[in-house]
Structure 1
Amino acid sequence: MSVPLWAWVAFAAVVVVMLAIDLLAHRGAHTIKFKEAAIWSAIWVGVSMIFALVVGLTLGAGPAVDFTTAYLLEKSLSVDNLFVFALIFGYFKVPREFQHRVLFFGVIGALVFRGIFLGAGVAVVSQFTAILFVFGAILLWSAFKLIRGGEDDAVDPGKSVAVRLLRRVIPISDEYHGAKFFFVEAGKRIGTPLLAVVVAVEAADLIFAVDSVPAVLAVSDSAFIVYTSNAFAILGLRALYFLLAGMLEKFYLLDKALAFILAFIGAKLFLQAAHKTISTSIPEIPTLVSLGVIVAALTIAVVGSLRHPQSSEPEPEPEPAVGGGELTPQLAGRTPVDMD
């Protein structure tokens, strides 16, 4: 699909303006409460849907459906990111008034890295269609891991390679210094734990991109569609975190829904690859069908979780993390959010 330059410029302008407004609205460090998070979530979803409408009016109904499907797919896959954010914030004991600042810079980094990965993915798929089989296998493996319920050590804050590398580059203090990432002591530049948290969040997003990039490429091979849908899903991630952070465990069926979605998209990729490389008589799954499946899976998971809540059991007290003179936060539970 040929996309005019003005479309990219318009998209960039929307992102810059919205980020500036968001930054201005949160220029003072404060705890994001439920009402504020709900308002901002509605704003980001509204902006995304307006963008989908503009895509439909200018580029056609097909690209608009592709954008909406890819956006909803990325939004649903981002639920796993929310659990990891809560884990990271709990591990490093990040004060709630600084969490938005961390996620703001995390979003900026994610926009850059996702752009690189998606651009490379589109280029590879355009040259080597058979790579879609590999992408499909990745998604099926991810679905299997979700069903199995195993934890990935790569997103364990205590084992993060990125954070360990950061400590080798710059010393990290044990104490927070307000919202600062750096401070100077005895003429030496030292990083604060907040810097380590940003690095941990970025590293986690890179891991989730392994699922995200192949999944969105199953919906469209247009660089414009796959990147803009990813970008809008990422931009609304902070508000979604503060909206749901205190309620994530209630939606216990979401993991199963995400596993089903990943498996479905993986199967879609296999059919897509077979259609392009083996025989055009092999049917592909239409994007509208994919959109319906994603909406249905998420709806069933949310409604099922609310109608049949899990019995809550008391959690054991967390044990202090062991460190050798380095940053030694404790692994706390998921960070609660004020609901007023």
Structure 2
Amino acid sequence: MSHELLFFGGFILFIVLMLAIDLGLFAKDNKPISLKSATIMSIVWICFALGFAGILYIWGHELHSITDLTTLKDIIAKHSHKIDIVENDFAKSISIYNRNLSLEYLTGYVVEYALSVDNIFVMVLLFSSFGIPEKYYHKILVWGIIGAILLRCIFIFIGAALIAKFGWILYLFGAFLVYTGIMMYVKRNEEEEVDPKNHPVVKFASKYFKVTHETDSGRFFDIQNGVRYITPLFLVLLVIEFTDLIFAVDSIPAIFSVTQDPYIVFFSNIFAVLGLRSMFFLLVNIIHKFHYLKVGLAFLLVFIGAKMLLHDWLHSWGFETIHSLIIIIGILAISIIASLMFPKKVEGDPLSRP
């Protein structure tokens, strides 16, 4: 148990330290994030995520303090890892287990990172609808990510507890993801809109707090004539947190299709969320070019849902985590390449291709 606490505690300490550095270096000046800075930070977070996969590949068994074959078998059964260990060879079995653990983590990370792109579409729309100056984007996103980490931590461990007690809930998750993917495909061409005045979160906040429309201070709260007001920056932060809860309903069950180890779900989810802020600034001006990405995400959700529904049969057919990772990357790659090869037609532009 001490190893488990050290592993998890070290991860949390690292996240807190990185967020503190992020807030201290970038948010205090309220300056727009440049493309160069966004690119560097995106690369840094991806490298951290890949580095963590390496840690799991070498020391993954330390996460659950596995010291013998009996404990290893118990953990494999508890978290439904679809692997076959080597009897009477603990070292070889640990190697197989750690390799699978790192693959599960990487697959979950890619799934969550891909689904996070859909968040970017919504965030761009929210900032535009609420009239938030670009220089405040970073501050809102960092605090939004902190809130998302806390909420997802609760969601993940509740989900793990439900799955452990009610195994059939995986089939419910799978059916829900298939339905969500189909609906995403059906509605792929619908324009999303946000009405700042009539959004349920804004209505709720306005009912209990005084709201100012001034954004010049760059603060979440303003005091005017001795009265505390919440600003549009705080309203957008609340809406982003509410939106992330909705997205978590899709993304967290999706990762449980890859692994039922709550720590791996948590690690892959949090690394993807942490990379979302830099990815937003990297893609904010070009996200519209990837118009087939929603189609790709729709197929991704259907595949993940189907995998949850058929996981026992797939394992008996020799379908492993590495195969899921290859298919997921393939779906995303095809949607991105198709978007670049066949740009969306712009009305009134005779040079644009269909």
Query: Relative to structure 2, which stretch is displaced further, 284-293 or 5-14?
Result: 284-293
- The 3-state SS of whatever aligns with 1:78 is helix
**Paired residues for 1:1-340 under 5 Å:** 4-26=4-26, 27-59=28-60, 60-149=98-187, 157-272=196-311, 275=312, 283=317, 285-313=319-347
Partner amino acid, structure 1, of 2:257: A
Q: Partners in 1 of 2:194 and 2:108 — Cα distance?
A: 24
Asked whether the 8 Å contact 1:271–1:282 carries over to 2, the reply is: no
Shift of 1:281: 8.4
Deviations 1:303-328 (A, max 9, x none): 1111221222369xxxxxxxxxxxxx
Q: Partners in 2 of 1:215 and 1:286 — Cα distance?
A: 16
- The 3-state SS of whatever aligns with 2:305 is helix
Give the TM-score, by structure 2 length.
0.83
Q: Partners in 2 of 1:192 and 1:44 — Cα distance?
A: 31
Q: Partners in 1 of 2:205 and 2:328 — Cα distance?
A: 38
Q: Partners in 2 of 1:4 and 1:157 — Cα distance?
A: 45
Find the structure with the greater CA-based Rg: 2
Asked whether the 8 Å contact 1:268–1:285 carries over to 2, the reply is: no
Q: Partners in 2 of 1:201 and 1:109 — Cα distance?
A: 10
Shift of 1:191: 0.7
- The 3-state SS of whatever aligns with 2:228 is strand
Deviations 1:133-190 (A, max 9, x none): 1101111111111111265989765543222111112111111142211111222111
Shift of 1:293: 0.7
Runs of 4+, deviation exceeding 3 Å: 150-159, 279-285
Partner amino acid, structure 1, of 2:310: L
- The 3-state SS of whatever aligns with 1:236 is helix
Q: Partners in 2 of 1:289 and 1:146 — Cα distance?
A: 24
Asked whether the 8 Å contact 1:271–1:283 carries over to 2, the reply is: no
Identify the structure with bigger relative contact order (alpha carbons < 8 Å, sequence gap 6+).
1
Instruction: Mark the CA change 1:222 to 1:136 in structure 2 (over 3 Å): closer, same or farther.
Output: same
Shift of 1:67: 0.5
- The 3-state SS of whatever aligns with 1:172 is coil
Q: Partners in 2 of 1:181 and 1:157 — Cα distance?
A: 17
Instruction: Mark the CA change 1:5 to 1:156 in structure 2 (over 3 Å): closer, same or farther.
Output: farther
Gapped regions of structure 1 (runs ≥ 5): 316-340
Partner amino acid, structure 2, of 1:108: I
User: What value does the CA root-mean-square deviation take over the aligned residues?
Assistant: 2.3
Corresponding position of 1:332: none
Q: Partners in 2 of 1:75 and 1:193 — Cα distance?
A: 28
Deviations 1:66-110 (A, max 9, x none): 110000000000111000000100000110000000001100110
Shift of 1:282: 5.8
Gapped regions of structure 2 (runs ≥ 5): 61-97, 350-354
Corresponding position of 2:82: none
Q: Partners in 1 of 2:144 and 2:315 — Cα distance?
A: 44
Q: Partners in 1 of 2:316 and 2:169 — Cα distance?
A: 17
Q: Partners in 2 of 1:3 and 1:230 — Cα distance?
A: 22
- The 3-state SS of whatever aligns with 2:140 is helix
Q: How many residues align?
A: 310
Corresponding position of 2:84: none
Asked whether the 8 Å contact 1:261–1:297 carries over to 2, the reply is: yes
Partner amino acid, structure 2, of 1:46: C
Query: Relative to structure 2, which stretch is displaced further, 302-311 or 203-212?
Result: 302-311
- The 3-state SS of whatever aligns with 1:311 is coil
